[in-house]
């Protein structure tokens, strides 16, 4: 039985298309596989920004950590444990000022952990979270997949890089684009995404 981890991060609430479609994918995977589902809404319960307590705490022996370091490392460990337990990660991200939300950035800052989710060897960095499938749902008001605006997509490339850095290289990317370019563009974006997801869920794993 597979374990699915759903992470949403858009601060747009009920208006978020990245959250809507990430939820649809996770629900479809759960229904088709009979797997378990863990949900983490980073907008509703954002992780804290990392502090010196986290930076120092994660390299300090547990018995020698301060109270603040213990709590900072505990938060990161919970997030990492969720990743370790998951066979499938469904990640929703809405573009904010050309990049991911600060909530999602903070999540990555916690789970990108030397010696835990990646390490360095003679050949360079090596991700440790291997063998997992990722469905990455990104939403943007403009069109960034190609054309003149592609150079300004600091969301998708950043997320793909960090996922790969910690070993999550098997990524299915679902882009929702052009949502602020008028009613017809929004309708087309939604329709195209619905078609894409329906196709994915016919052969999900």
Average pLDDT over every residue of 58-75: 95
> Residue 145's pLDDT is what?
86
> Residue 34's pLDDT is what?
86
pLDDT in tens, 125-160: 999 999 999 999 999 988 988 888 899 999 999 999
What does the buried/exposed string (b/e) look like for 139-150 if buried means 16 or more CB atoms within 10 Å of the residue's CB?
bbbbbbeeeeee
Q: Phi and psi dihedrals of 170, rounded to 5?
A: -90, 85
Displacement of CA 60 from its chain's centroid (Å): 28
92 close to 137: Cβ distance less than 8 angstroms: yes
pLDDT in tens, 152-200: 999 999 999 999 999 999 999 999 999 989 999 999 999 999 999 999 8
Q: What is the mean pLDDT of the chain?
A: 93
> Residue 102's pLDDT is what?
96
Residues that constitute the known binding site:
10, 16-18
Residues that constitute the known binding site for FMN:
10, 16-18
Strand, coil or helix: 185: helix
Question: How far, in Å, are 34, 60, 191 from residue 87 at the CA level?
Answer: 13, 30, 28
* Residues 58, 108, 154: CA angle, nearest 5 degrees: 145
Q: Sorting pLDDT into bands at 50, 70 and 90, what band is 122? A: confident
Number of domains comprising the chain? 1
Q: Domain with 191 in it: what CATH number? A: 3.40.50.360
Tokens linked to 196:
């894409």
| Burial of 97 from C-beta contacts in 10 A (0-12 / 13-18 / 19+) | exposed
More confident residue, 166 or 203: 166
Average pLDDT over every residue of 18-47: 94
pTM for the full predicted model: 0.93
Domain residue limits at 10: 3-202
Strand partners, 40: 7
């Amino acid at each position: 039985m597979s374990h699915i981890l759903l992470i949403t991060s858009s601060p747009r609430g009920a208006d978020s298309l990245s959250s809507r479609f990430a939820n649809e994918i996770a629900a479809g995977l759960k229904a088709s596989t009979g797997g378990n589902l863990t949900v983490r809404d980073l907008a509703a319960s954002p992780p804290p920004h990392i502090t010196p307590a986290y930076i120092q705490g994660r390299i300090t022996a547990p018995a020698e950590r301060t109270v603040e370091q213990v709590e900072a490392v505990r938060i990161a460990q919970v997030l990492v444990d969720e990743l370790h337990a998951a066979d499938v990660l469904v990640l929703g991200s809405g573009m904010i000022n050309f990049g991911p939300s600060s909530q999602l950035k903070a999540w990555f800052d916690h789970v990108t952990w030397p010696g835990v989710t990646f390490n360095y060897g003679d050949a360079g960095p090596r991700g440790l979270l291997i063998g997992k499938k990722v469905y990455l749902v990104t939403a943007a008001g403009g069109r960034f997949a190609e054309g003149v605006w592609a150079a300004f997509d600091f969301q998708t490339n950043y997320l793909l890089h960090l996922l790969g850095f910690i070993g999550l290289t098997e990524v299915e990317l679902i882009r929702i684009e052009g949502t602020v370019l008028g009613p017809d563009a929004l309708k087309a974006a939604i329709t195209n995404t619905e078609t894409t997801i329906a196709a994915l869920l016919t052969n999900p794993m």
